[in-house]
Amino acid sequence: MTFLQCYDILKFASGTAYKTYKDEGYILSKTWTVKEILDWTRDYFKGAGVERSRLEAEQLLAYTLEIDRIQLYMDPDRPLDEKELDNFRPLVKERKSGQPLQYITGQVSFMGLSLKVDERVLIPRPETEEMTEEILGEFRDNEGVKVLDLGTGSGAIAIALARFLVEPTISAVDKSPEALELAKENAQLNNLEKEIDFKQSDWFSEVTGNYDVIVSNPPYVPSSKLKELKPKIKYHEPQEALDGGDEGLQEIKNILNQVEDFLSPDGTVFLEIGHDQGEDVKDYAAAQNLQDVRLIEDSRGKDRILCGSKEA
């Protein structure tokens, strides 16, 4: 790498002002293009241990420029002006420090819907999308399905079901008033605020009635394993939404202990679980008089969803 190349990289990383460098009549005045910034950020993230370094570089730059990712490749030689560089630079540093990309941009896509996210709630995971798709696969054509979303967090599950089911009745609860505030914002963002009844409740404590579908992504990480989580999760996402007690099953069991009382005849419960908890959770659910208890694998072939129904 030449001196001039090193200078350019240090200039971008540090944010210092350009200096004129004269060498045999050459004046350094580096202009960063979209392609160059993406390549540099990818390598910078890779060196910092950021997974999917290229994808995250693209997402962060597209967010900064307020364009879709595909547009980055429609004009890769487009130069970035100083304001754009100044806006991009601190975001790169935040991500390198461990801050999750979704919290930096304040947004995430879930089932094709745009949601706000911040440190009040967990970042919705692909596994949660898969659970939501399972519910839609079973109930998409049923009109007027009554749904209870326990521990709604960002509201992702409730909002997706409100959008894609046929005239459902959706109730969404969470014990965190801060999480409920964000969930309501997300419902408004997707023009579904009138379709969902949000209520503060510690699981079933304030819930009444019976439901055709009860769904939850409860905390299921064993307390002893919280320290083993990736830094972006361990230090930024709400621990109370992750900590499932000694074996990771505390909140799952709390739900299963009561769920039969709130299911309609033939109603079904869907719970997201840890990939190594399947058989234990299945046995416990069967002991609570649930019928047709089964496990559904995620896209990686791991047990991830528990289903059980109330006998009619």
Q: Pick from 111, 150, 174, 147: which is nearest to 272 by CA? A: 150
Residue 175 and residue 35 share a domain? no
Residue 123 and residue 262 share a domain? yes
Residue 90 and residue 63 share a domain? yes
Q: Other C-beta atoms within 10 Å of 149: how many?
A: 29
Q: Other C-beta atoms within 10 Å of 260: how many?
A: 19
Q: Which of 99, 124, 149 is the last residue of a domain?
A: 99
Residue 155 and residue 266 share a domain? yes
79: helix, strand or coil: strand
The answer for residues whose C-beta is within 8 angstroms of residue 21's C-beta and 6 or more apart is: 4, 7, 27, 28
Question: Which domain covers residue 278, as residue numbers?
Answer: 107-309
DSSP conformation letters of 115-162:
EE--TTSPPPPHHHHHHHHHHHHHHTT-BT-EEEEES-TTSHHHHHHH
Q: Which of 80, 99, 118 is the last residue of a domain?
A: 99
pLDDT at residue 12, rounded to an integer: 59
Over 96-111, what HEC string results? HCCCCHHHHHCEEEEC
Q: Pick from 244, 226, 245, 247: which is nearest to 236 by CA? A: 226
Residue 125 and residue 89 share a domain? no
Residue 172 and residue 303 share a domain? yes
pLDDT at residue 107, rounded to an integer: 95
Residue 183 and residue 267 share a domain? yes
pLDDT at residue 311, rounded to an integer: 80
Domain total of the chain: 2
d(CA 263, CA 144): 15
C-alpha angle with apex 199: 194 to 201, nearest 5 degrees?
160
d(CA 179, CA 181): 5
248: helix, strand or coil: coil
Write down the pTM of the prediction.
0.89
Q: Are strands 26-27 and 22-23 parallel, antiparallel or unpaired?
A: antiparallel
Is 191:116 a contact under the CB 8 Å cutoff? no
Half-sphere exposure of 216 (CA within 13 A, CB side): 23
pLDDT at residue 9, rounded to an integer: 53
d(CA 89, CA 16): 11
- The torsion region of residue 266 among left (phi > 0), alpha (psi -120 to 50) and beta comes to left
Phi/psi of residue 211, each to 5°? Answer: -135, 145
Enumerate the β-bridge partners of residue 213: 147, 268
Give exposure, 229-253, as e/b (b: 16+ Cβ within 10 Å). eeebbeebbbeebbbbbeebbbbbb
Q: Give tens-digit pLDDT for 193-248.
A: 999 999 999 999 999 999 999 999 999 999 999 999 998 899 999 999 999 999 99
211: helix, strand or coil: strand
Residue 116 and residue 89 share a domain? no
**CATH number reported for the structural domain that contains residue 147 in this entry:** 3.40.50.150
Residues of the chain with pLDDT under 70: 1-29
Is 220:252 a contact under the CB 8 Å cutoff? yes
d(CA 95, CA 221): 24
